[in-house]
Chain A
Amino acid sequence: MNWFYIKGILMLAGMNLMAVLGLSLLTGFTGLFSFGHAGFMALGAYAAAWAGVRMGLPFLVALLAGGLFAGLVSLPIGRLTLNLKGDYFCIATLGFGEAIRLILDNVQTFGGARGWPGIPIRTDLWNVALICVAATWFMVRLVNSRHGRNMIAVREEELAAKTVGIDTFKYKMLSLFVSAVYAGIAGGMMGYYTGFLQPKMFGMAKSTELTIIVIFGGIGSVSGSVLGSILLTALPEILRTFAIWRLVVYGAAVIFIMISRPEGLMGGKEITLDAIRRLARPRKASAGAGTRAGAEGREVQP
């Protein structure tokens, strides 16, 4: 266990975190279950690689370009799929995820199934950390605004949300767009980390893994997604000897979580400064039930 190894795990966790944060917004906060999210990672990865390698843009700009490209593609996809009911939406996203991978497999300009080698290594611990912090910061702020609350309303009771004036379609699109941008940036970071890209890196297995982390961390919790990403990326690396069994255990764990604690690790609550303070201090006698101060805890209620 040396620093280099730990660094690698942290970077992988960070890249997963990016994608998971995005998916968390879509699935955890807006209630839309996508099983093809790795497709957006792929789009971002290839676009970022193109921007950097073929167009010579600097690393961070290329990442942003990748993210934006994925976001742009999400718009027509959203238009087509966001009006579909639950099950249909899941199948449609599954279809899109696979379709993107298939297209990449068959289009030779990007190397087809054999992949695109020779991408310069630019991702390092510092820029991953920086991007993750910025991404988390943005996500927390988004979720704690009226825009975030509107997405949560869509998740909780879409019909009622409409009757209080929320344009549910617009918010679903916004949620999808942001989640796609996040996934795209994550994909971009991945490409510049491994030095090559292959469509199969972004297949159904990856999409499933992302969804599992979101569930594990707890729907509707940013801190849950952060913790979940770190734990579920680090753990299998540490248990590398049991690598083959990792996904078997994952599968069983998912069933177990659904049956016993579907609200996941954080149960939809957040780790906030207030919450930490409350844990550290013994409970004061009730400071008046209706006070403003009491209500100001930055809990994003599930």
Chain B
Amino acid sequence: MNILETHDLTKIFGGLTAVEDVSFGVRSGSISGLIGPNGAGKTTVFNLITGIYKVTAGQVVFDGKPIHNLEPHKIAQAGITRTFQNIRLFKRLSVYNNILTACHDLAGYSVADAAFRTRRYREQEEQLKSEAFRLMDVMGLAEWRDKQAVSLPYGVQRRLEIARALAVRPRLLLLDEPAAGMNPDETRQLMTLISRIRDEFSCTILVIEHRMDLIMGICENIVVLNFGRKLTEGPPRAIQSDPEVIQAYLGEGVKTGA
């Protein structure tokens, strides 16, 4: 069963057609990949799914319901979150506050509750704080707890961005080049982390990546974009040996991570 489907997704900016007639599905509970050369439209697809861009044509269907053109925060509330290619953390906030802020929707207390520190406020704040601590522990961020996001090492920042996205309890997590700038060792750790996230947080994951070791290593299904159109999709074996994909993007001799 597909948790997410795009139908003929198209996005045109003025004179530039960034994405055209892209249709694919993401199976619920899977780790899927979205690959293609630079400029193929991958991040545009993410932006369309998460509501940052409005679609020019086509549909995005999540859990059977159309979500395209909804406000980004509504889409997040529906259960889709993401990380960004250029990390967009709350720079001056600490690791703890980055995650705590993102937990906001787990509570429902009003401004009045906050003003009078009602029982509702206190209990729910406790819940938020527990959740933030839990996430920090799970993601290995506890030692960085009070450090400002902008001062963290690059790899830690990426982990924090993922942790923050998880705070929203998404059912679908979109990761935009999470391994950028990582060495093979860190990439392997990331691959393990992504698998763990899928299992422990019960969410489906869709990854944009250029690192083929990661993609081939953990993705069950891969969608290939080229020049804004879908070239093909399929399991890693099929993609690796597809002549069109090899010509457009992979080149000869791509090995799997296994």
Whether chain A touches chain B in the assembled complex (some CB pair under 8 Å): yes
B: contact size bracket = 35 or more
| A166 contacts chain B at the CB level, 8 A cutoff | yes
| B72 contacts chain A at the CB level, 8 A cutoff | yes
B88 and A160 contacting across the interface, CB-CB below 8 Å: yes
Q: How many residues of A contact B (CB 8 A)?
A: 33
User: Assuming the A-B contacts A290-B145, A292-B133, are A163 and B111 also in contact, with contact meaning beta carbons closer than 8 angstroms in the complex?
Assistant: no
Selected from B121, B125, B145, B167, the residue in CB contact (under 8 A) with A295 is: B145
B73 and A141 contacting across the interface, CB-CB below 8 Å: no
Task: Find the B residue at minimum CB distance from A143.
Answer: B114
| A159 contacts chain B at the CB level, 8 A cutoff | yes
| B230 contacts chain A at the CB level, 8 A cutoff | no
B114 and A147 contacting across the interface, CB-CB below 8 Å: yes
Task: Find the A residue at minimum CB distance from B108.
Answer: A146
Task: Find the A residue at minimum CB distance from B99.
Answer: A164
B168 and A165 contacting across the interface, CB-CB below 8 Å: yes
What's the Cα separation between A295 and B50 when bound, in Å?
Answer: 33
| A162 contacts chain B at the CB level, 8 A cutoff | yes
Least distance between A114 CB and chain B CB atoms (Å): 40
B91 and A165 contacting across the interface, CB-CB below 8 Å: no
B interface SS class: helix
A141 and B165 contacting across the interface, CB-CB below 8 Å: no
Of A43-51, A148-156, A224-232, which binds chain B? Answer: A148-156
What's the Cα separation between A168 and B101 when bound, in Å?
Answer: 13
User: Assuming the A-B contacts A141-B117, A162-B72, A163-B72, are A157 and B90 also in contact, with contact meaning beta carbons closer than 8 angstroms in the complex?
Assistant: yes
User: Assuming the A-B contacts A146-B104, A152-B101, are A163 and B93 also in contact, with contact meaning beta carbons closer than 8 angstroms in the complex?
Assistant: no
* A301 CB contacts on chain B under 8 angstroms: 92-94, 97
Task: Find the A residue at minimum CB distance from B50.
Answer: A163
| A268 contacts chain B at the CB level, 8 A cutoff | yes
Least distance between B169 CB and chain A CB atoms (Å): 10
What's the Cα separation between A141 and B110 when bound, in Å?
Answer: 12
| Total A-B pairs, Cβ < 8 A | 116
Q: Which of A273-292 contact B (CB under 8 A)?
A: 289-290, 292
A165 and B101 contacting across the interface, CB-CB below 8 Å: no
What's the Cα separation between A160 and B50 when bound, in Å?
Answer: 11
Report B155-195 CB contacts with A as 1/0, cut-off 8 Å.
00000000011011000000000000000000000000000
* A163 CB contacts on chain B under 8 angstroms: 50, 52, 72-73, 76, 81-82, 165
A165 and B111 contacting across the interface, CB-CB below 8 Å: no
Residue of B88, B128, B129, B137 with most chain A CB atoms under a 10 A cut-off? B88
| B3 contacts chain A at the CB level, 8 A cutoff | no
What's the Cα separation between A205 and B37 when bound, in Å?
Answer: 55
| B200 contacts chain A at the CB level, 8 A cutoff | no
B115 and A164 contacting across the interface, CB-CB below 8 Å: no
* A289 CB contacts on chain B under 8 angstroms: 142-143, 145
Residue of B72, B129, B168 with most chain A CB atoms under a 10 A cut-off? B72
Selected from A141, A144, A149, A295, the residue in CB contact (under 8 A) with B101 is: A149
What's the Cα separation between A168 and B51 when bound, in Å?
Answer: 14
Report B134-155 CB contacts with A as 1/0, cut-off 8 Å.
0011000011011000000000
| A145 contacts chain B at the CB level, 8 A cutoff | yes
What's the Cα separation between A82 and B165 when bound, in Å?
Answer: 26
Least distance between A287 CB and chain B CB atoms (Å): 13
| B96 contacts chain A at the CB level, 8 A cutoff | yes
Selected from A159, A166, A295, the residue in CB contact (under 8 A) with B104 is: A166
B93 and A152 contacting across the interface, CB-CB below 8 Å: yes
A164 and B102 contacting across the interface, CB-CB below 8 Å: yes
| B231 contacts chain A at the CB level, 8 A cutoff | no
Q: What are 15 A-to-B residue pairs whose CB atoms are below 8 Å? A: A142-B114, A142-B115, A147-B114, A152-B93, A156-B91, A156-B92, A156-B93, A159-B88, A162-B76, A164-B167, A165-B81, A165-B104, A289-B142, A290-B145, A292-B133
Q: Which 7 A-B pairs have the closest CB atoms?
A: A145-B114, A165-B76, A156-B90, A162-B72, A160-B88, A146-B104, A164-B102
